[in-house]
């Protein structure tokens, strides 16, 4: 288990952003955090800062001025000790703001962003926002030759604030000093627990206990840091984020339970059991605390998708029992906006019907077709074959209009 990210959350103001004093306090916070967690034997892999939605503080629609302000904020964040900055989501009610995200990601090195697909009044899904997000994903795929631009963007449905994982994370805090949460890289805990268990009940108990013990050790450090700095500790996100090594693969953990390759019949039952154990664990929570199935970040998932056992439809199916959606999914470079629209709309409708947070980080790879192998040199990625997309996209009544009425199941 590692701390993937210590993520701070701050509210920036329209005219001032953050004051010089506030930036100095954030720098003091990262320095104290590094020392506190190092003393406890943990070194967060990254420090991240998430703001409230960018339209609330950047001087849009003046793109040039907004980019200049963002550049200064990015510079201040890096100087304060943060590796990455999330400027939050574009609202579905302001779909024109989505176009700024492409400008922001292309002009910066450390900036993540997102866009809501669902309407804030809970009435349904914005078809306009879905179309604009599909267009943006297509545009971002051209920012870098390997399609890496989409690493920094996610489409969101029903996603609240204060999630410590990026790109989904954005701030929903009122504390003047800000707040923070810990995003854990803990798929290895599930692998170890399930490997040591002699039956399903032990597997459930061992995983639950492992989470609780880890949270108990770290919460003491986190609360002492909070007392020393004034940054409120929101809690942990123990979504079992994987790493590319086999013993740190969520795919390995799932297969230890099911005994079959991820994507085969029985996989959903294993995922449901794993998440039930996570649900029962007692710890201070902030974020998803669900399941992450990032194809390009997990060797086993990449292998199963390359074999054809794990498809995009399977990822949707698994999301029904509490996944976080579609993450780092490699797609053909010539995927159309209509096809992306269909994928995003399916995700948004699934999220609204189930009343749960889901995200999509889709990665069309220029020059690659279904079945081709990616060739990333990024240390946090494994390589996988491009996943095929069935159909040409939505052509009927759903392709028209501004919004789609969708109600939560049972409401």
* Span 215-236, pLDDT tens digits: 999 999 999 999 999 999 999 9
Q: Report the pLDDT value the prediction gives residue 38, as an integer from 0 to 100.
A: 94
What does the alpha-carbon distance between residue 117 and residue 129 come to, in Å, rounded to a whole number? Answer: 6
Phi, psi of 129 (to 5 degrees): -65, -40
Enter the tokens of residue 15: 């005219």
Least Cα distance to 1 among 204, 187, 195, 278 occurs for 187
- The answer to whether 82 and 44 have CB atoms below 8 angstroms apart is no
Alpha helices by DSSP H, 186-310: 187-196, 200-229, 250-258, 267-280, 299-307
What does the alpha-carbon distance between residue 390 and residue 345 come to, in Å, rounded to a whole number? Answer: 15
What does the alpha-carbon distance between residue 84 and residue 49 come to, in Å, rounded to a whole number? Answer: 6
What does the alpha-carbon distance between residue 217 and residue 128 come to, in Å, rounded to a whole number? Answer: 46
In tens, the pLDDT along 112-154 reads 999 999 998 768 999 999 999 999 999 999 998 888 999 999 9
Longest dimension (CA), the chain: 62
Q: Report the pLDDT value the prediction gives residue 122, as an integer from 0 to 100.
A: 67
- The answer to whether 260 and 327 have CB atoms below 8 angstroms apart is no
- CA 89 → CA 133, 147, 369, distances in Å? 11, 21, 30
- The answer to whether 174 and 11 have CB atoms below 8 angstroms apart is yes
Least Cα distance to 400 among 128, 59, 90, 45 occurs for 128
Written as one string, the DSSP assignment of 113-172 is EEEE-B-TTSSEEEHHHHHHHHHHHHHHTTTSTTSGGGGGEEEEES--S---STTT----
Report residues of the chain scoring pLDDT below 70.
122, 175-176, 411
What does the alpha-carbon distance between residue 159 and residue 198 come to, in Å, rounded to a whole number? Answer: 37
Phi, psi of 22 (to 5 degrees): -65, -40
Q: Report the pLDDT value the prediction gives residue 104, as an integer from 0 to 100.
A: 96
Q: Determine what percent of the chain is predicted with pLDDT higher than 70.
A: 99
- The answer to whether 135 and 337 have CB atoms below 8 angstroms apart is yes
Phi, psi of 34 (to 5 degrees): -60, -45
Peptide bond just before 61 cis, omega within 30 deg: yes
Question: Other C-beta atoms within 10 Å of 151: how many?
Answer: 22
Enter the tokens of residue 406: 């969708």
What does the alpha-carbon distance between residue 301 and residue 303 come to, in Å, rounded to a whole number? Answer: 5
- The answer to whether 156 and 195 have CB atoms below 8 angstroms apart is no
Tokens 């996100």, located at residue: 237
Domains and CATH numbers, the chain: 2-145 (3.40.50), 184-230+237-399 (no CATH)
Least Cα distance to 268 among 260, 19, 75, 383 occurs for 260
Span between the terminal Cα atoms of the chain, in Å: 39
Tokens 């993450």, located at residue: 327
Grouping H, G, I as helix, E, B as strand and the rest as coil, residue 3 is strand
Residues 6+ apart with CB under 8 A from 105: 111, 112, 113, 140, 143, 149, 152, 153
Q: Report the pLDDT value the prediction gives residue 180, as an integer from 0 to 100.
A: 98
């Amino acid at each position: 288990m590692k701390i993937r990210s210590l993520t701070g959350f701050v509210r920036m103001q329209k005219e001032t952003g953050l004051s010089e004093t506030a930036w100095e306090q954030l720098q003091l916070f990262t320095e104290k955090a590094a020392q506190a967690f190092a003393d406890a034997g943990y070194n967060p892999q990254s420090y991240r800062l998430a703001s409230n939605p960018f339209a609330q503080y950047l001087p849009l629609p003046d793109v040039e001025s907004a980019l200049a302000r963002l550049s200064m904020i990015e510079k201040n964040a890096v100087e304060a000790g943060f590796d990455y900055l999330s400027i939050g989501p574009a609202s579905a009610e302001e779909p024109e703001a989505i176009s700024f995200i492409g400008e922001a990601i292309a002009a910066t090195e450390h900036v993540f962003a997102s866009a809501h697909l669902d309407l804030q009044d809970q009435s349904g899904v914005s078809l306009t926002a879905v179309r604009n997000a599909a267009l943006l994903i297509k545009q971002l795929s051209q920012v870098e030759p390997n399609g890496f631009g989409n690493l920094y963007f996610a489409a969101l449905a029903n996603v609240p604030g204060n999630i410590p994982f990026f790109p989904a994370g954005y701030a929903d805090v009122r504390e003047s000093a800000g707040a923070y949460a810990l995003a854990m890289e803990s798929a290895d805990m599930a692998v170890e627990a399930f490997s040591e268990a002699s039956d399903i009940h032990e597997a459930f108990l061992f995983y639950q206990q492992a989470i609780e013990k880890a949270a108990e050790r770290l919460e003491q450090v986190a609360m002492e840091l909070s007392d020393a700095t004034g940054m409120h500790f929101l809690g942990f996100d123990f979504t079992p984020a994987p790493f590319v090594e086999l013993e740190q693969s969520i795919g390995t953990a799932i297969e230890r339970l099911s005994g079959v390759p991820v994507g085969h019949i029985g996989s959903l039952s294993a995922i449901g059991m794993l998440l039930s154990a996570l649900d029962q664990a007692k710890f201070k929570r902030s974020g998803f605390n669900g399941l992450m199935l990032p194809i390009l970040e997990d060797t086993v998932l990449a292998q199963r998708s390359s074999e054809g056992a794990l498809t995009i439809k399977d990822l949707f199916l698994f999301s029904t029992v509490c996944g976080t959606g579609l993450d780092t999914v490699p797609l053909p470079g010539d995927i159309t906006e209509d096809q992306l629209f269909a994928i995003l709309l399916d995700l948004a409708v699934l999220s609204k019907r189930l009343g749960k947070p889901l995200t999509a980080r889709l990665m069309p790879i220029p020059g690659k077709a279904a079945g081709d192998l990616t060739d990333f040199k990024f240390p946090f990625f494994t390589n996988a074959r491009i996943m095929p997309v069935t159909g040409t996209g939505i052509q009927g009544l759903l392709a028209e209009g501004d919004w789609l009425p969708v109600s939560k199941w049972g409401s």
